Chains A and B, each alone.
Chain A
Amino acid sequence: MKSQTQALLPALDAILDQIKSGWLMGDPLLPLLPTQWQEAACPPNRKKGAKAGDESELRILALVGQYQSIVGRPPKHPLQARPVLPTLDYPSLEGKARALFVRCIKQQPGSTNDLLRLMAARGYSSHPLDWMPKSERDEVPELYQPWIAWLLSTNAEQLKDLSEDNWNNLSTPLRRARLRSLLRKDRAQARSVIMKCTPKLGASEREKIIGLLLPDAEMEDLECLRVFIKDRSARVREQVHAILNLLGASYELPDGADDSVQHEQFKELVQMLVLREGRLQAKRLPDKKKSRLSGGLWTTDPRELAKHFDLTLRQLAQTWHFEQNKMATNSLIRSFVHRGLIKEVMPLLCKLAKQADGRSDPNFLDHLSPEQHHKLIRLVVQRADVSFWEIASWSGDALGSLPFDMLHKSPAFKDLQFDLINSKKVGHEATHVDSLMLKLGLVVDHQGAAKFIEELKDLEVSSLHPALQNLHLNAALPPRREPPFSFA
C-alpha cells in the first residue's frame, strides 16, 4: 500500500506544480484540476459569505498546503560535511573558566591572542564553539596548528600526515601547515619530504618552506640544507646560509659570484654605520636606505661586522646606539639571535629592557633561554617608568608566570595603586587604569591572581569589576602542566 502511494507521488507533484503556477498568476483553478478532483472540490452548498468559486479553491488550497507540509519533505541535498576537527594536545576549558574566557574575548577581542597564550602556558585550549582561528595568517599559539590545517582542508584525507604521496593533493598553504605539524611530530620524515618535494616548487614557495626549518633548526637538518645550498634562487641560498650560520656549520659557497655580491653588500652596509666616541650607530639616512640597512643587518653575520670595526661581539652589542634607529636595532638583534649568539647580544637586550618604551617589539624572546628571559623580565619589572603593558609585552611565553611578590613590589603596581586612588578621588573611572588591571591579569601567576583580586578589593575595586576579568580567568586556570619556566 505504502509503495503504491509512493508511486503516485510524482504524478501528484506534477499536478500540484501546475496548480501552484496557476495560483501564482491568478488563473482559474477548476480547468487545471483532474476530473475526479473537480467533483471533490465543489461543495454541495456554498458557505455563508463565500464568493462563487472560492470554496473549491480554498478547499484545494487547504489540502495542497497540508500535503506539502506532511508528505512533501524538504529535498535531500548532496552535502559534504567538513572533516571532524582534530583534537589538540591540551583539553578545552570547561565550566566557570570557559564562561570567563568567553566573557573576556567578548569584551576585549584585541587581547584574544594573549589570553590564548596564557591558557596554552597553563595547559588548556579554547573550545571550538568559543574561539577558532579564522585564517592561516592568524598569529596563534603553536598548539592550534592542527586547527589551521583543518581550516585549509576540504576532506579528511588531507588531514592525514604529510607524505610524498599526498603532497600534490594539498593546496600550498595547507602543505605548509601540514609540514609545520610534521616538523614537530617527526622532523626526520619532514626533512625527507622537503628534500624530495620542494625542489620542484617555485622560488618563493621554496624560500617559505626552508624558512619553516629556521625556528628549531638542529644539526640533523644539515643534510637537508646542503641540498639547497646551491639552489638556483639567490634568496633561497641566502636563507640557507643564515640557517647554517646559526648552526655554526661550515659550508662551501657554490661559486665566486655570490661571494663578490655579498662583499659589495657588506661594503654598502658598513658605509651606513659609524663608530663615534665609542658608540656604533646608523648614519642619518633617507627612508629607502634605512630599510636597506635593516635588511642588510639581518643577513650579515655580526662576527664579520664586529671584525670590521675591530670590536669583539660583546663590544658590538654594548656599543650599539639603539635609540638612533629602532628598525636597524631589531634587525641586528635578530641577526645575533638567529645565529645563536644570545650571550653576546645580552648586554644590548638588557639596555633595551631598561630603557625601551611601550612601542618596542621584543620578537626575539622565543630564542632566549629561560634564565636569559628571566633576567630581562626582572630588569623590565624593576624599571620605574614601566607599566603592565610593557611587562606583558616582554613576558612572551612567560605570560601568567610572574609571582605576586615580584609584581606587588614593582613600581608598575605602585603606579596602578596611585592611579586607582586618584581616579576614585576625581569620581570617575579611568580607562587606562582598567587596561592596566587587565594586563596585570595576564602576567601574574595562578596563585598571585587570587591575591591581586583581594588586594584590589581593598582598594575598593569590586571583584565583579570588568577590569578584573583576566585576573578571574587566570585564577580559574590551575596549571595542568609545568610552566615553560618559573620565577619561584
Chain B
Amino acid sequence: MKLSTEHVEAIAPDQKSLAAASKLLKMNKWPQLAQGPEGLIWGSCQGSGANPYRVVADTTDLWYKCTCPSRKFPCKHALALFWLFAEKCESFAQGQDPPEWATEAVGRRRKGNAKADPKEKKADPSKSIAKASAAGQSEPKAKKKAPSKVKQAATRESAIQASYELENWIGDQLRSGLSQLLKDPASHCRRIAARLVDHKASALAGRVDELPARLLCLPNEESLDALVAELSKWILLCRAFRNAPDREDLQRDFMRSESRDQLLENPIAPRVQSHWEVLGTQHNTRRDGLVQQSTWLLNLRESKKARVALLLDFFPASSGARGSSFTSGEQFYAELCFYPAPLLQRAVIVEREACSELLTWPEQPTLEREDPLHNWSETLLRIPWAAQAPVRLGPGRLVNHKSRGWWLASKGGWTIALAQAASLGQEALAYRDAWGVWDGCSLELLRLVEAEEHAA
C-alpha cells in the first residue's frame, strides 16, 4: 500500500490531532527517522520532556506504537510519522535493521488488532490535512502568559512559609522521638508533604513523600542514620531558600522546575557540545503516580564544567511501562543545555547527532581512584542538600553478602552497599570500571565495564 496523506486524514481521531501533528513536521523535531523491511518505519520525536518519544509504525496496515502517554489513538507523534513518510519518505534512512525497542514493540503486536484499510472508512469532512497545515502556518505560536510579579511574590512568600512549617515539623519529630517517625514514616510524611504542596513547595513535598520508600529499602540498623542525613538536608535547603528565594536552582529544588522552553530561552543556561555516552537509566515510581526516568550521560571529552549530565523525564505510571529512548553504552554527539546550578548536572538535549567514532572513558582523577565516593563529597560541598551523585568506581567486583549486593573495590578494599543484590553472572566477572549513583546509603549501578580478559 502506498501511503498517502488521505490515509493519515482517515486515521486521525480528530482535527485537533492533525493540527498538533502538523507542528511536528519539522525535521529538527526528529533526531531519528528510518525505514526497515516490510513497510516498517520508526523515529524519535523530541517532545517537551528531556527524552524523545519513540514511534514505530507499519505503513502496510497503519499499525503504530508510541511511547508518549497520550490517550488519543493514534497520537500526534504517530500521525506526524505517517504524514512525514507520505510526503518526505526520502528523509527516512533506508535499509536499516529495526532497533531493539522497535522489534520488541512489533513482537508484542497482536495481529488481530491490525487496522482495516483506512480507505474503507467513511470520509469525515470534519478532519482535513489542508486545514491543519494552513492553521499550522498562519496561527502564530500562542505563548503562555507569564505569571505576574505580584503572583510570583505571593508564591515565594508562601514557599518561605512552607520552609518554616517543615522546620517546625522536624522539631516536633525530634521532641516526640524519631522512633515514632521510623515506625510509621508514610503517614507522618504524607501529612507534611500535603501541607508543603498547599504552600507551593511541590518539589520539596515530592522529596518528603519519597522518604518512606527510601527508608523501607534499608536494613533497620541503617534507617536512623539515613533519616538524620535526610532531615539535615531539608533544614539546609529550607535555610538556603529563605536566604536567596530568587535563586533558580533553589526554586527548582523547593518549588518547581522551569519548563524546557523556559530553560532554552534562558541566556545564562550553559550549553555544552560534546561526545556523550549513555551510562544508564533509572526508573522510579513516585507516590504521586508519576514515573521518574533518569538518564545519565557521561561527557567523553575532558570537561571540568560538565562531566556528567542527567536527563529527567516524568510520565504517568498509569500509561504503562515505557522503555528508555537510550541504550546503555550508546554514544552520540549532542548539544546539551544545563539547568543553571552551582554544579551542572540536570540538562536537556538541544540537538543530537549519531556518531561513528567510539571514545573510551576519560582517565579517572587520582582522588577518585583513592576514594570512590569522592564525587559525593564534592557534590555535597557545593550542594549540601543533594540527594544523590554519580560516582565512578574504578576496578572491582560484585559480592553478595547476607542477601545484599556489595561493590568491592580492587584498590583499597572499599565496600559499598548496592541497592540490589548482584546476579550470579555479575558476581562471576571482574570489572575494569563502573559508574553508579550513590544516595548516601546505597549505590545503584549504572554501567559496568568488564575486565579485558572477560570482554566478549
Which residues of A are at the interface with B, using a C-beta cutoff of 8 A?
20, 23-26, 29, 47-51, 53-54, 57-58, 61-66, 68-70, 72-77, 79-82, 84-85, 87, 91-94, 96, 98-99, 103, 107, 127-132, 134, 147, 150-151, 427-429, 457, 462-466
In the complex, the chain A residue whose C-beta lies closest to that of B451 is: A84
Interface flag for B197 (CB, 8 Å): no
List the A side residues contacting B174 at CB < 8 Å.
23, 26, 29, 54, 57, 61
List the A side residues contacting B353 at CB < 8 Å.
none
Bound: A243/B40 CA distance, A: 60
A463 touches B229 (CB 8 A): no
Which residues of B are at the interface with A, using a C-beta cutoff of 8 A?
37-38, 40, 97-98, 100, 103-104, 106-107, 111-112, 164, 167-168, 170-171, 174-180, 182, 224-225, 228-233, 235-236, 239, 373, 376-377, 380-381, 384, 397-399, 401, 406, 408, 413-417, 423-430, 440, 453-454, 456
Q: A87-B453, A128-B429 are in contact. Are A81 and B231 (CB under 8 A)?
A: no
Bound: A209/B291 CA distance, A: 55
B224 touches A464 (CB 8 A): no
A85 touches B428 (CB 8 A): yes
List the A side residues contacting B171 at CB < 8 Å.
50-51, 53-54, 57-58
> Binding site of A, secondary structure by majority: helix, strand, loop or mixed?
loop
A50 touches B164 (CB 8 A): yes
List the B side residues contacting A75 at CB < 8 Å.
415
List 20 interface pairs A-B (beta carbons < 8 Å), by A numbering. A20-B224, A23-B177, A23-B228, A24-B224, A57-B174, A61-B174, A70-B381, A74-B416, A75-B415, A77-B406, A79-B401, A80-B399, A96-B97, A103-B104, A128-B428, A151-B424, A429-B111, A462-B38, A464-B38, A465-B107
Bound: A147/B182 CA distance, A: 44
List the B side residues contacting A87 at CB < 8 Å.
453-454
List the A side residues contacting B426 at CB < 8 Å.
129
Bound: A23/B180 CA distance, A: 10
In the complex, the chain B residue whose C-beta lies closest to that of A73 is: B373
List the B side residues contacting A131 at CB < 8 Å.
425
Bound: A150/B417 CA distance, A: 24
List the B side residues contacting A80 at CB < 8 Å.
399
17 extra interface residue pairs, beta carbon distance < 8 Å, beyond A58-B170, A75-B415, A128-B424: A20-B228, A24-B182, A29-B174, A51-B171, A57-B174, A61-B231, A61-B232, A62-B232, A62-B236, A79-B408, A81-B408, A84-B453, A92-B456, A132-B424, A134-B424, A150-B428, A427-B112
The one of A64, A65, A74, A98 in contact with B456, judged by C-beta atoms closer than 8 angstroms, is A98
Q: A48-B164, A464-B107, A466-B107 are in contact. Are A129 and B176 (CB under 8 A)?
A: no
List the B side residues contacting A92 at CB < 8 Å.
456
The one of B233, B406, B428 in contact with A79, judged by C-beta atoms closer than 8 angstroms, is B406
B178 touches A23 (CB 8 A): yes
Q: A23-B174, A76-B413, A87-B454 are in contact. Are A81 and B397 (CB under 8 A)?
A: yes
The one of B98, B103, B416, B423 in contact with A129, judged by C-beta atoms closer than 8 angstroms, is B423
Bound: A462/B58 CA distance, A: 11
Most central of A29, A50, A73, A464 by chain B CB within 10 Å: A464
List the A side residues contacting B377 at CB < 8 Å.
70
In the complex, the chain B residue whose C-beta lies closest to that of A134 is: B424
A129 touches B425 (CB 8 A): yes
Bound: A464/B276 CA distance, A: 31
Most central of A65, A85, A94, A466 by chain B CB within 10 Å: A65
List the A side residues contacting B107 at CB < 8 Å.
103, 107, 464-466
The number of A-B residue pairs with CB atoms under 8 Å apart is 166
Most central of A134, A427, A462 by chain B CB within 10 Å: A462
B112 touches A65 (CB 8 A): no
Q: A61-B174, A74-B416, A128-B429 are in contact. Are A54 and B399 (CB under 8 A)?
A: no
In the complex, the chain A residue whose C-beta lies closest to that of B386 is: A69
A127 touches B406 (CB 8 A): no
Bound: A58/B429 CA distance, A: 46
Bound: A410/B335 CA distance, A: 58
In the complex, the chain B residue whose C-beta lies closest to that of A81 is: B397
Nearest 10 A-B pairs (CB), nearest first? Answer: A65-B232, A26-B177, A85-B428, A54-B171, A49-B164, A81-B397, A128-B425, A129-B425, A464-B106, A62-B235
Bound: A437/B381 CA distance, A: 60
A74 touches B179 (CB 8 A): no
B168 touches A49 (CB 8 A): yes
List the A side residues contacting B180 at CB < 8 Å.
26
In the complex, the chain A residue whose C-beta lies closest to that of B236 is: A62
The one of A63, A69, A82, A96 in contact with B428, judged by C-beta atoms closer than 8 angstroms, is A82
Bound: A445/B390 CA distance, A: 47
Bound: A50/B40 CA distance, A: 64
In the complex, the chain B residue whose C-beta lies closest to that of A64 is: B228
Bound: A87/B453 CA distance, A: 9
In the complex, the chain B residue whose C-beta lies closest to that of A28 is: B175
A66 touches B380 (CB 8 A): yes
A26 touches B176 (CB 8 A): yes
Bound: A98/B327 CA distance, A: 15
Bound: A391/B228 CA distance, A: 65
In the complex, the chain A residue whose C-beta lies closest to that of B450 is: A129
List the B side residues contacting A151 at CB < 8 Å.
424
List the B side residues contacting A77 at CB < 8 Å.
401, 406, 415
In the complex, the chain A residue whose C-beta lies closest to that of B440 is: A69
List the B side residues contacting A91 at CB < 8 Å.
456
Bound: A147/B425 CA distance, A: 10
Bound: A124/B408 CA distance, A: 30
Bound: A72/B100 CA distance, A: 43
A127 to chain B, nearest CB (A): 6
Q: A84-B429, A91-B456, A128-B428 are in contact. Are A65 and B230 (CB under 8 A)?
A: yes
A356 to chain B, nearest CB (A): 34
List the A side residues contacting B423 at CB < 8 Å.
129
Most central of A57, A62, A87, A462 by chain B CB within 10 Å: A62
Bound: A72/B225 CA distance, A: 10
Bound: A74/B175 CA distance, A: 28
A82 touches B399 (CB 8 A): yes
B181 to chain A, nearest CB (A): 10
Q: A26-B174, A29-B174, A463-B37 are in contact. Are A132 and B167 (CB under 8 A)?
A: no
Bound: A20/B430 CA distance, A: 39
A69 touches B380 (CB 8 A): yes
B408 touches A464 (CB 8 A): no
The one of B112, B429, B456 in contact with A85, judged by C-beta atoms closer than 8 angstroms, is B429
A428 touches B229 (CB 8 A): no
A68 touches B425 (CB 8 A): no
The one of B106, B170, B381, B429 in contact with A462, judged by C-beta atoms closer than 8 angstroms, is B106
List the B side residues contacting A81 at CB < 8 Å.
397-399, 408, 427
Q: A24-B178, A29-B174, A128-B425 are in contact. Are A50 and B380 (CB under 8 A)?
A: no
A64 touches B232 (CB 8 A): yes
Most central of A77, A91, A463 by chain B CB within 10 Å: A77
Bound: A150/B425 CA distance, A: 11
B407 to chain A, nearest CB (A): 10
List the A side residues contacting B164 at CB < 8 Å.
47-50
List the B side residues contacting A85 at CB < 8 Å.
428-429, 454
List the A side residues contacting B233 at CB < 8 Å.
65
A419 to chain B, nearest CB (A): 15
B380 touches A74 (CB 8 A): no
In the complex, the chain B residue whose C-beta lies closest to that of A467 is: B107
B177 touches A132 (CB 8 A): no
Q: A26-B176, A91-B456, A99-B100 are in contact. Are A50 and B167 (CB under 8 A)?
A: yes
List the B side residues contacting A20 at CB < 8 Å.
224-225, 228
The one of B38, B415, B425 in contact with A130, judged by C-beta atoms closer than 8 angstroms, is B425
Most central of A72, A74, A79, A151 by chain B CB within 10 Å: A74
A58 touches B167 (CB 8 A): yes
A473 to chain B, nearest CB (A): 13
B429 touches A129 (CB 8 A): yes
Bound: A68/B376 CA distance, A: 12
A294 to chain B, nearest CB (A): 37
A24 touches B179 (CB 8 A): yes
A68 touches B175 (CB 8 A): no
